[in-house]
Amino acid sequence: MRHGFTLLACAAKRFHGGGEAYSNSSTMFRFLKQRRRQRLRAQPFPPAWRSIITGNLPIFRRLPPEDQAELLGHVQVFLAEKHFEGCSGLELTDEIRVTIAAQACLLLLHRATDYYPELTSILVYPSGYTSYEARHLDGNIWDEGGEPRLGQTARWLGSLVLAWDDAKRGAAHPSDGRNLVLHEFAHQLDYEDFKTDGAPALATRAEYLTWARVMSREFAALQSAGETGTSTVLDTYGATNPAEFFAVVTEAFFERPRALRGRHPELYAQLARFFRQDPSRYSAETTTTP
Ligand SMILES: [Zn+2]
């Protein structure tokens, strides 16, 4: 027994040593990554890219100057790290890449971020596309039919798909409550704690508990509104499941913040705490009624 214990102790020591080596190399990796990102953020922003953002994202002009500068820095990192691919014959342009990146980076302002670490590639179709997926129906029955889509993403997939015409339209109308890019990238934020449960990575257990309490109640209310046909600030598609709920409330938070804050103050407070932003201060929204 003693011998076995010693072997185990040695094995544990070796493992621990390996852990330190791993820890040191991962600390070095993080340091180098952060330094590279700092350099990217500090690079002069290409004037042509800035023209694309000011032309395609009316919300950009409404942001405080310090937020504009932070956003442009994030766009530099995002475009350096993410791979874009055109689908169905779409030829990628700077307009496509920059317009998508700027919207995605709006979700990163004011927070420590690892730039959507689960995401490698963004696939862009010219417009809506058909997604072919085998879906389990019952027993041995599978449905392999196509489903029309504007965008999608999934954990472990490493990619996110967007219809370019809808992504551009979403940027051009910053207060209609709908934004495809914000929706799909909110899903990516949800994955950062390695779960698809509608809760992004929060700092403390107390924050998770409060989040769960508020979101559960709001999710149930949206389900009821969908069943009774009651008018709501939130798209009732959010009642599909908690993950879709988080994506839908993220769209509303950035696009209809005043209406959301007026109708759902606790929900708004939770999102404002997570995103460290108060979009009601810069929103293009003109009315507070749904
Ligand atoms: Zn979704």
Spatial separation of the C-alpha atoms in residues 110 and 206, rounded to whole Å: 21
How remote is the CA of residue 71 from the centroid of ligand 1, in Å? 24
Spatial separation of the C-alpha atoms in residues 148 and 283, rounded to whole Å: 31
pLDDT band for position 12 (cuts 50, 70, 90): very low
Q: Quick check: 1 pLDDT over 90?
A: no
- 135, 123 Cβ separation under 8 angstroms: no
Average pLDDT of every residue of the chain: 89
Q: How far apart are the first and last CA of the chain?
A: 71
Q: Quick check: 118 pLDDT over 60?
A: yes
Spatial separation of the C-alpha atoms in residues 199 and 270, rounded to whole Å: 11
Length of the chain: 290
How remote is the CA of residue 248 from the centroid of ligand 1, in Å? 8
How remote is the CA of residue 183 from the centroid of ligand 1, in Å? 6
Long-range contacts of 147-152 (CB under 8 A, 24+ apart): 150/180, 151/180, 151/181, 151/183, 151/184, 152/184
How remote is the CA of residue 114 from the centroid of ligand 1, in Å? 21
* Ligand 1 ion: Cβ-proximal residues, 5 Å cutoff: 244, 247
Q: Quick check: 237 pLDDT over 80?
A: yes
Backbone φ and ψ of 136, nearest 5°: -75, 125
pLDDT attached to residue 8 = 31
How remote is the CA of residue 94 from the centroid of ligand 1, in Å? 26
> Who has greater pLDDT, 196 or 259?
259
pLDDT attached to residue 6 = 32
Which strands sit side by side in the sheet containing 151-153, from one edge to the other? 83-86, 121-125, 159-163, 151-153
User: The tokens 């504007």 sit on which residue?
Assistant: 150
pLDDT in tens, 245-269: 999 999 999 999 999 999 999 999 9
pLDDT attached to residue 22 = 54
How remote is the CA of residue 27 from the centroid of ligand 1, in Å? 34
Q: Quick check: 201 pLDDT over 60?
A: yes
> Who has greater pLDDT, 5 or 167?
167
User: The tokens 């956003």 sit on which residue?
Assistant: 71
pLDDT attached to residue 139 = 77
Least confident of 61-70, 122-131, 134-143: 134-143
Q: Quick check: 24 pLDDT over 60?
A: yes
How remote is the CA of residue 182 from the centroid of ligand 1, in Å? 10
Q: For the packed helices 242-255 and 180-191, what is the interaxial angle rounded to 10 degrees? A: 130
How remote is the CA of residue 184 from the centroid of ligand 1, in Å? 6
Spatial separation of the C-alpha atoms in residues 238 and 248, rounded to whole Å: 5
Sign of CA pseudo-dihedral 230, 233, 235, 241: negative
The β-bridge relationship of strands 159-163 and 121-125 is parallel
How remote is the CA of residue 238 from the centroid of ligand 1, in Å? 8
- 88, 126 Cβ separation under 8 angstroms: yes
Spatial separation of the C-alpha atoms in residues 75 and 58, rounded to whole Å: 16
Q: Quick check: 135 pLDDT over 80?
A: no
**Two tokens at 90?**
């779409």
How remote is the CA of residue 237 from the centroid of ligand 1, in Å? 9
Least confident of 20-24, 85-89, 135-139, 185-189: 20-24
How remote is the CA of residue 83 from the centroid of ligand 1, in Å? 21
- 199, 212 Cβ separation under 8 angstroms: yes
pLDDT attached to residue 23 = 66
pLDDT attached to residue 208 = 94
Nearest C-alpha neighbor of 58 from the set 285, 287, 223? 285
